[in-house]
Amino acid sequence: MSDTFFLNGKETPFVHGQMILDAAKNGGIEIPTLCYLKGATPTGACRICLVEVKGARSLIAACSTPVTQGMEVFTDSELVHRARKLNVELLLSSGKHNCITCEANGNCRLQDLAYFYKITNLQFEESDRGYATEDENPFIVRNFSKCILCGRCVQACNEVVVNRAISHGYRGAESKIVTGGDQPYNNSECVFCGQCVQVCPVGALTEKKAKGLGRPWETQKIRTTCPYCGVGCQQLLHVKDGKIVKVTAVEDAQPNQGRLCVKGRFAYDFIYSEERLKTPLIREANGEFREASWDEALDLVATKFKEIIKKDGPDAIAGVSCARSINEDSYQMQKLFRAVIGTNNIDHCART
Ligand code: FES
């Protein structure tokens, strides 16, 4: 017999040790969250996932409370919604959340919650911690006035990519997400993988290069495989008018499970480089290169290979496949060298 609890009055199965948030999701009820980050230790920081539990003295956070046998959970009561709305108002009051010019407009969970709860006027005085925006590095803008201190960036940095470059700093009204010594990202342990940007639920952390290039609803999301190494990370290209605005990782997809490295996320400028080779080049006897068709170039290579094999044998040829090749291409390359050319002189440039 499986364990069950009561979700809005309906008997629902759960797995021992499961949090209310996950058990409710399995039961078809989506509880809103801000600080919850899948795969990381729940922090219970934002109090948006509050639910009512019969017999409990106060509302409790669904993300960090395990379900118990027979527990009666209410996710949709008036008390729950009043508390969630109040917490959204408090978050909106701390900092400057100017949606009109915010890069996260249309991709902001706080904005979604404010819309859901129809919050038009704030009952609390707005306060700002007064920390200046940091954009001294080429990749990430840190706007502390939009930071809601949910800690998802800290969880992602410490537990998902395990770089341990940021943590919670200072206290009370001075609270801030800091690097070691509260240095700018540039002077810290940050490796600019951008995982903090990917998980930020508001506009506190944004991609610098994407600034002003397109709103989320204006871009087409195209899934592709990262071109940088053989791991095959899955990424989404956010494209507007045929140009990449930014790159994000595909959540819940193998092998990267929502992660990217600095190259996969930020180093796509080469696509638009004027110096990029787009046709094969053949070096003439005078040492000059001339453009050629793929047929001509491949015929020339095949002819030269045959000449070398005839004169000195297949081991006079060696191949190094490109580190940017996907596994399947590297496999085909070694097959070509071993089975067709007849040599084991094949290697892979493993630097990524
Ligand atoms: Fe549960 Fe933030 S999502 S407290």
Domain boundaries, the chain: 4-76, 214-276, 281-348
Q: How confident is the model at residue 2 (pLDDT cuts 50, 70, 90)?
A: confident
Query: Which residue, among 160, 207, 197, has the nearest Cα to 177 in the 3D structure?
Result: 197
Beta pairing class for 176-179 and 319-321: unpaired
The answer to whether domain 214-276 has CATH 3.40.50.300 is: no
Beta pairing class for 60-61 and 72-74: unpaired
Question: Taking 70 as the threshold, does the pLDDT of residue 166 lie above it?
Answer: yes
Contacting residues for 329 by C-beta, under 8 A, at least 6 apart: 321
Q: Ligand 1 centroid vs 311 CA: distance in angstroms?
A: 71
The pLDDT, as a whole number, for residue 350 is 62
Q: Ligand 1 centroid vs 65 CA: distance in angstroms?
A: 10
The pLDDT, as a whole number, for residue 330 is 87
Q: Ligand 1 centroid vs 73 CA: distance in angstroms?
A: 16
State the greatest distance between any 2 C-alpha atoms of the chain, in Å, as a whole number.
89
Report the chain's mean pLDDT, rounded to a whole number: 94
From 41, 64, 109, the mutation candidate for ligand 1 (largest count of ligand atoms within 8 A of CB) is 64
Torsion of CA 172, 178, 182, 186, to 10 degrees: -160
- The region that residue 149 occupies, defined by phi over 0 for left and psi between -120 and 50 for alpha, beta otherwise, is left
Locate the ligand 1 atom nearest the alpha carbon of residue 36 and give its number: 3
From 22, 31, 36, the mutation candidate for ligand 1 (largest count of ligand atoms within 8 A of CB) is 36
As given in the structure block, the two tokens for residue 81 are: 């919604």
User: Residue 125, CB half-sphere, CA atoms under 13 Å: how many?
Assistant: 1
Q: How confident is the model at residue 352 (pLDDT cuts 50, 70, 90)?
A: very low
The answer to whether domain 4-76 has CATH 3.40.1280.10 is: no
Query: Which residue, among 245, 222, 230, 266, has the nearest Cα to 348 in the 3D structure?
Result: 230
The pLDDT, as a whole number, for residue 1 is 57
As given in the structure block, the two tokens for residue 60 are: 């409790």
Cα radius of gyration rounded to whole Å, the chain: 27
Locate the ligand 1 atom nearest the alpha carbon of residue 47 and give its number: 4
* pLDDT 10s digits, 42-78: 999 999 999 999 999 999 999 999 999 999 999 999 9
The pLDDT, as a whole number, for residue 127 is 86
Q: Ligand 1 centroid vs 21 CA: distance in angstroms?
A: 9
Is the model more confident about 40 or about 324? 40
Pocket of ligand 1 (CB under 6 A): 33-36, 44-49, 61, 63
Q: Ligand 1 centroid vs 49 CA: distance in angstroms?
A: 5
Beta pairing class for 346-348 and 319-321: parallel
C-alpha span between 254 and 243 (Å, rounded): 26
Q: Ligand 1 centroid vs 48 CA: distance in angstroms?
A: 5
User: Residue 319, CB half-sphere, CA atoms under 13 Å: how many?
Assistant: 20
Torsion of CA 333, 339, 342, 343, to 10 degrees: 40
Mean pLDDT, residues 183-208 = 97
